[in-house]
A and B are shown apart, each in its own frame.
Chain A
């Protein structure tokens, strides 16, 4: 997943532009430079999402640990 996140994002980005063209009833590959733009946007979104997930997971583990410690005296 970490390696393929930008790939997934790029595929999704191209998909977005294809969809935009399809729903506007234009030929699918009109404005091909926009496809590249969206691929890049999608790839960056993919990497950001994966890093966001890791950061949130670390924060969450931190919060849960503090919670465990605070409740420790109740569990005796």
Chain B
């Protein structure tokens, strides 16, 4: 993953991506005696290999028509004086085609629509800590490297890729909020809600301005913190069954016992859910507001309007979780088991971040501005 983000060449990009993905495939199939897990690993492997193949095809097209694979060299070719050379041959449309394949591979990996079909199944089948890893790591790594590719090398092709990213982002936002309305299992719900969040991230990406990249990075950081909190809670809601401690939080109706046995945990869950829905004064609101600000300043009005509407829609199912937690009677006996200390510490740190980020956003703001500038300079 670290190799991936620091790669400056298509070859190293592909190598790092494949190495990372191989590890992910194995991780998804970690529970060897569960069919769910094996199925998830297999699905991920097949679709991941396919999308890596598409990515490689894009890279090879670009190499074939320009002769270089290094990002900075590509940047020089696409923006420098050899532009006429490209136009006079048939190279330019082919490079666009290569870029489209690159984008397709990228969108596959970060589970954006219309390449998202594998993610709910894989996220649900994989063991829960692995799902947490999947939700956070590939997105961060891939956004990092593709920000560099599209911000530096392919910036001149912004018209095609902005359109593609806009379509994907709108579709992801809409699908993420609508499809999650009917889910009954927590991990699938989180998978669809993460598709929605990816839609917002892509909207920030599609702006193409420094504010857009900054908004994307801030949203990414807040998204990471929120997901860590969510998974820490899901992993901590342990129950004692037949003399052993079992993490048994599969269906959303399982949450019903949480408010009675551990009110502080229920409160934390509520705060996290409100933050994911984008309610002030929590961190999720700040990141969404800045994202809409970046979208509006790039004249992407439709994205902003649909974004806010989808955020209200998604509010509905987040609040439904709150309702189930507080207002429904649990169906079977509740017992509780003490949360391990590491979970509690993680929860504390991320919860305080979500609560107090609004009052002191400056360090994150500054560092993301610096990152955005270094990516584009």
Instruction: Tell me whether B341 is interfacial, beta carbon within 8 Å.
Output: yes
Instruction: Tell me whether B268 is interfacial, beta carbon within 8 Å.
Output: yes
Query: Are A23 and B363 touching (Cβ within 8 A)?
Result: no
Query: Are A67 and B377 touching (Cβ within 8 A)?
Result: yes
Which residues of chain B come closer than 8 Å to A29, judged between CB atoms?
A: none
Q: How large is the interface on B (under 10, 10 to 19, 20 to 34, 35 or more residues)?
A: 20 to 34
- Nearest-CB residue, chain B, relative to A52: B363
Instruction: Tell me whether B351 is interfacial, beta carbon within 8 Å.
Output: yes
Q: What string of 1s and 0s marks CB contacts (under 8 Å) between B327-364 and chain A? A: 00000000010110100110111011000100000110
Which residues of chain A come closer than 8 Å to B336, judged between CB atoms?
A: 25
Query: Are B264 and A23 touching (Cβ within 8 A)?
Result: yes
Which residues of chain A come closer than 8 Å to B47, judged between CB atoms?
A: none
Main secondary structure of the interface of A (DSSP, over half): helix
Complex Cα gap A20–B345 (Å): 6
Which residues of chain A come closer than 8 Å to B264, judged between CB atoms?
A: 19, 22-23, 25
Which residues of chain A come closer than 8 Å to B164, judged between CB atoms?
A: none
Instruction: Tell me whether A36 is interfacial, beta carbon within 8 Å.
Output: no
Query: Are B370 and A16 touching (Cβ within 8 A)?
Result: no
Instruction: Tell me whether B306 is interfacial, beta carbon within 8 Å.
Output: no
Instruction: Tell me whether A12 is interfacial, beta carbon within 8 Å.
Output: yes
Query: Are B339 and A23 touching (Cβ within 8 A)?
Result: yes
Complex Cα gap A19–B267 (Å): 11
Complex Cα gap A39–B373 (Å): 36
Complex Cα gap A52–B338 (Å): 37
Query: Are A60 and B366 touching (Cβ within 8 A)?
Result: yes
Which residues of chain A come closer than 8 Å to B348, judged between CB atoms?
A: 15-17, 19-20, 23
Query: Are B373 and A63 touching (Cβ within 8 A)?
Result: yes
Complex Cα gap A53–B236 (Å): 34
Instruction: Tell me whether B265 is interfacial, beta carbon within 8 Å.
Output: yes
Complex Cα gap A20–B268 (Å): 12
Q: A23-B347, A53-B362 are in contact. Are A60 and B373 (CB under 8 A)?
A: yes
B335, chain A: closest CB distance, angstroms? 13
Query: Are A23 and B373 touching (Cβ within 8 A)?
Result: no
Which residues of chain B come closer than 8 Å to A56, judged between CB atoms?
A: 363, 366-367, 370
